[in-house]
Amino acid sequence: MRSDHSPRTLRPADEHFVAPLDETPLREVDAVDTTAAPRSMWGEAAHNLIRNPVFVVSALLILLLLFIAAFPGLFTDFDPTKGDLGVSNQKPGDGHLLGTTVQGYDVWARILYGTRTSLSVGFFAMVISTVIGVVIGAFAGYVGGWIDEVLSRVTEIFFALPLVLGAIVAFTALSSGVSTFTIALILAVFGWTNIARITRGAVLSVKSQDFVTASTALGAGKLTNLAKHVLPNAIAPVIVTATVNLGVFIVAQATLSYLGLGNGSISWGSDISDAQPALRNNPMMLFYPSVALAICVLSFIMLGDAVRDALDPKARKR
Position 265 scores a pLDDT of: 82
Is the separation of the CB atoms in 181 and 254 below 8 Å?
A: no
Position 104 scores a pLDDT of: 82
Domains in the chain: ranges and CATH: 42-79+104-311 (1.10.3720.10)
- Largest Cα–Cα separation, the chain: 106
Helix, strand or coil, per DSSP, at residue 235: coil
Is the separation of the CB atoms in 107 and 101 below 8 Å?
A: yes
Identify the CA nearest to 197 among candidates 243, 143, 132.
132
| Cα–Cα distance, 76 to 68 (Å, whole number) | 11
Identify the CA nearest to 233 among candidates 143, 302, 145, 141.
141
Residue 100 sits at φ, ψ, to 5 deg, of -130, 160
Q: How far is CA 129 from CA 141, 231, 250, in A?
A: 18, 17, 14
Identify the CA nearest to 272 among candidates 111, 112, 163.
111
Position 132 scores a pLDDT of: 94
pLDDT in tens, 181-228: 889 999 999 999 999 999 999 888 888 888 888 887 877 777 888 888
Q: How far is CA 227 from CA 233, 253, 283, 309, in A?
A: 10, 33, 53, 25
Position 136 scores a pLDDT of: 93
Residue 264, judged by CB atoms within 10 A of its CB (0-12, 13-18, 19+), counts as exposed
Identify the CA nearest to 289 among candidates 243, 245, 257, 263.
257
Q: CB neighbours of 284 closer than 8 A, spacing ≥ 6? A: 92, 98, 99
HEC string of 88-106? CCCCCECCECCCECCCCCE
Count CB neighbours of 89 within 10 A: 16
Q: How far is CA 168 from CA 121, 160, 187, in A?
A: 16, 15, 10
Position 16 scores a pLDDT of: 54
SS3 content of the chain, % helix, strand, coil (to 5): 70, 0, 30
pLDDT in tens, 64-99: 999 999 999 899 888 888 877 777 777 777 777 788
* R_g of the chain, CA atoms, integer Å: 28
Q: pLDDT under 70 in the chain at which residues?
A: 1-42, 175-177, 312-318
Is the separation of the CB atoms in 164 and 254 below 8 Å?
A: no
Is the separation of the CB atoms in 107 and 167 below 8 Å?
A: no
**Cα 46 → chain centroid:** 17
